[in-house]
Amino acid sequence: MTLFKLKTNLTLLHKICLTGLFIALAAILQKVLAVNYLSISPWMRISFGGPALIVFSSVLLGPFFGAAVGAGSDLLGYFVFDMSGKAFFPQVTAIYTLLGFCGYFVFQLVKLIKSKTAIICIEAILFTALLGGGTWFLVTRNVLDLWIKIVAPIILGLLFVGLMIFIIFYDKKASIPLGYNAYQISLCAFLLDVFVLVGFGSLMKGLAFGMDLYPVIVICQAIVMFFNVTISTIVLSILFNVCKKYFSYENISRGE
């Protein structure tokens, strides 16, 4: 199958209005309904759907609108909702701008991977490697209590198991638009989190907070990834179903 354009029946006015709505919602999810600035690691942010909404806006509205949602939500979140008193770092805004821009293209590329078994194997291998690195980080941190070092890896492992259970059952019951399945959506969330939030994001936060902290930031971002990918997969799957009437199917063969 060749790559296809993700078409919708939305007009330019619809897209502009939805961009404003998504910016406001993403800002609330990123700053208000989120876990920010943990004492053990101020670079960690666990958002209950913020990144997923930014990615979805890219798929629904296009990469440039998605980038606007990513940038706008971070700016609005900082200047309106942020109560930490920390300085503004444009590097952090760049992370969410890139996330909104890349979501559209990653969804097109993952469309080419048809094997559900291959997706499970890819995620299982990489999640296991990241779990090992995150466990090592927690165990070697002398400032952490013993119960945290024991419980945290167990929670991360359970998150991955929960993710696998969700995509298996949701894929059987839901009809996701554009011919996608829950496995592909999970892989999209994983790739975007690894390359944008962990890879690019850690570099940007290293430039903002000091490159001497870069290794620690990478590990912290990898730990947060277990939460983000699970939450994003669930939120994206639901959003696709809720908004399926806005997608165009004219460029998808019925045999797929």
Q: Please tell me whether the overall predicted TM-score, pTM, comes out greater than 0.85 for this model.
A: yes
Give residue 43's pLDDT.
Answer: 61
Q: Would you say 66 and 196 are in contact if contact means Cβ atoms under 8 Å apart?
A: no
Domain around 197: 12-246
Establish if 1 belongs to a structural domain: no
Distance, in Å, from the CA atom of 149 to the CA atom of 135, rounded to the nearest integer, reads 7
Q: How confident is the model at residue 37 (pLDDT cuts 50, 70, 90)?
A: low
Q: How confident is the model at residue 38 (pLDDT cuts 50, 70, 90)?
A: low
Q: How confident is the model at residue 254 (pLDDT cuts 50, 70, 90)?
A: very low
Distance, in Å, from the CA atom of 111 to the CA atom of 220, rounded to the nearest integer, reads 30
Distances (CA, A) of 234 to 170, 186, 250: 9, 8, 26
Establish if 148 belongs to a structural domain: yes
Distance, in Å, from the CA atom of 71 to the CA atom of 57, rounded to the nearest integer, reads 12
Establish if 217 belongs to a structural domain: yes
pLDDT mean across residues, the chain: 85
Establish if 72 belongs to a structural domain: yes
Q: Would you say 202 and 218 are in contact if contact means Cβ atoms under 8 Å apart?
A: yes
Number of folded domains that form the chain: 1
Identify the burial level of 155 via C-beta atoms within 10 angstroms of its C-beta, where 0-12 means exposed, 13-18 middle and 19 or more buried: exposed
Give residue 132's pLDDT.
Answer: 86
Average pLDDT over residues 47-59: 93
Give residue 2's pLDDT.
Answer: 46
**Amino acid, single-letter form, for residue 252:** I
User: Which CATH number fits the domain that encloses residue 66?
Assistant: 1.10.1760.20
| Structure-token pair, residue 34 | 């989120």
Establish if 223 belongs to a structural domain: yes
Establish if 7 belongs to a structural domain: no
| Structure-token pair, residue 55 | 């990615």
Establish if 2 belongs to a structural domain: no
Establish if 255 belongs to a structural domain: no
